[in-house]
Amino acid sequence: MKRAKITIVGAGNVGATTAHWCAAAELGDIVLVDIPQTEGMPQGKALGKALDLMQAAPIMKFDCALTGTNRYEDTAASDVVVITAGVPRKPGMSRDDLLATNAAIVGSVAAEIRNTSPDAVIIVVSNPLDAMVERVRQVTGFSPRRVMGQAGVLDTARFRAFLAAELGVSVEDVAAMLLGGHGDTMVPLASCASVGGIPVGQLITAERLAQIIERTRNGGAEIVGLLKTGSAYYAPAAATAEMVEAIVRDKKRLLPVAAYCDKEYGVGGYYVGVPVILGAGGVERIIELAMSDEERASFQKSVDAVKSLVATMARLTS
């Protein structure tokens, strides 16, 4: 049986850790690619990390080919491509600066992937996420079903982890769902949260649940504040690997994904976080949930924020 070919663009913390999780789960042969040598960016970054990971294989007992490269030719005919490339926001950099810079980086990556892996399913992790997924769709011209963003799996994991810690239960028994864009406008759905099938509202006060939801919205910022000089990467990479597994193993997982919604939820042609069935074809079906009036209002606020972000990107890249 032919093994899947998984390309991960960007050999930073998120990209390299995604390669680690994918290798450990033996999801396929992995190509880790980063930009060629520039000032302050050693040419061997992707090569070195792939070689280091390969040498862990005999210890951790996983069998897959691991390749580090600076050439997109080595990524040809990938089944899944994960894009983590981009820069974090730096001191003195406005949000528009970050948006313009990463739109250029992600756009150039998308053009390479379009030429080398025209049949790939693409998972975008780069920020600002909802705009970057749209940028990849625009540049590749791929079906929207084959271009998606990773955010909901991560945000839902944070919500579940906080609920499990609060209630003193196993994370395995906590289920949750959220909608909307990635960031402080995300909409964790209290109505869809449960522990062992018991609605979470029967186990925790509304006031405390609201506090946990707010902590979930600020989950990434909390980690940045603690690290001072970096951002989260273990959980984002694990979330990405879960999506890769759903695709390469055609698992038909129901997961929250930044998916292209047109008529769905009345979005009108933008990427927002919604529950989908994720399998070999990418986003195979979008699940539409009933929402309370409050949840619907919060979701619309999130969609409006995504629309504004995309409009700003269009202005900056025109």
Which one from 45, 137, 182, 217 is the annotated catalytic residue? 182
Contact 101, 108 (CB under 8 A): no
Residue 128 and residue 170 share a domain: no
Residue 1 has pLDDT above 90, yes or no: no
Please state, for a pLDDT cut of 70, what percent of the chain lies above it. 95
Clarify whether residues 219 and 239 are in a common domain: yes
In degrees, to the nearest 5, what angle opens at C-alpha 254 toward C-alphas 296 and 12? 95
Domain stop point among 129, 149, 169:
149
Whether 42 has a pLDDT exceeding 60, the answer reads no
- Taking a C-beta distance cutoff of 8 angstroms, is the pair 242, 255 a contact? yes
Number of alpha carbons in the 13 Å side-chain half-sphere of residue 297: 3
CATH of the domain at 74: 3.40.50.720
Q: Report which secondary-structure segment, H or E, holds 295.
A: helix 293-317
Name the pTM for this structure: 0.95
Give the C-alpha distances (Å, rounded to integers) separating 296 from 22, 109, 131, 153: 36, 35, 22, 20
- Which pLDDT value is given to residue 159? 96
Residue 41 has pLDDT above 60, yes or no: no
**Domains of the chain: total:** 2
Do 144 and 156 fall within a single domain? no
- Alpha-carbon span 80 to 120, nearest angstrom: 5
Q: Which residue has the higher pLDDT, 74 or 94?
A: 74
On the question of pLDDT at 142 being above 60, the answer is yes
Residue where a domain terminates, one of 99, 133, 149: 149
What confidence score (pLDDT) does residue 190 get? 87
Mean pLDDT computed over every residue of the chain: 93
Are residues 113 and 37 part of one domain? Answer: yes
Model pLDDT for residues 184-220, shown as the tens digit of each residue: 788 989 889 999 999 999 999 999 999 999 999 889 8
Provide the pLDDT confidence category of residue 88 given band limits of 50, 70 and 90: confident
> Does 182 participate in catalysis according to the annotation?
yes
90: pLDDT confidence band, cut at 50, 70 and 90? low
Read off the pLDDT band of 114 (50, 70, 90). Answer: very high
The verdict on 281 and 134 lying in the same domain is no
143 with 157, same domain: the answer is no
Q: Is pLDDT at 38 greater than 60 in this prediction?
A: no
Of 96, 121, 149, the residue at which a domain comes to its end is 149
Residue 224's pLDDT is 86
Both 90 and 173 in one domain: the answer is no
Work out the percent of the chain whose per-residue pLDDT is above 90: 81
pLDDT of residue 94: 63
Band (pLDDT 50/70/90 cuts) for residue 181 is: confident
Do 113 and 202 lie in one domain? The reply is no
Do residues 144 and 286 share a domain?
A: no
Identify the pLDDT of residue 318. Answer: 82
CATH of the domain at 195: 3.90.110.10
The Cβ of residue 70 has, within 10 Å, a number of other Cβ atoms equal to 17
If asked whether residues 80 and 164 sit together in one domain, one would say no
User: What is the model's pLDDT at position 2?
Assistant: 83
Verify that 218 and 121 share a domain, yes or no. no
Residues 187 and 237 in one domain: yes
Q: Is 32 helix (H, G, I), strand (E, B) or coil?
A: strand
Instruction: State the Cα–Cα distance between residues 145 and 137, nearest whole angstrom.
Output: 10
Q: Which domain holds residue 108?
A: 5-149
Give the tokens for residue 96.
């528009």
Per-residue pLDDT, averaged over 247-262, amounts to: 98
CA–CA gap between residue 195 and residue 162 (Å, rounded): 12
Residue 85: the pLDDT is: 94
Instruction: Work out the pLDDT band at 37, boundaries 50, 70, 90.
Output: low
Give the pLDDT score at 276. Answer: 98
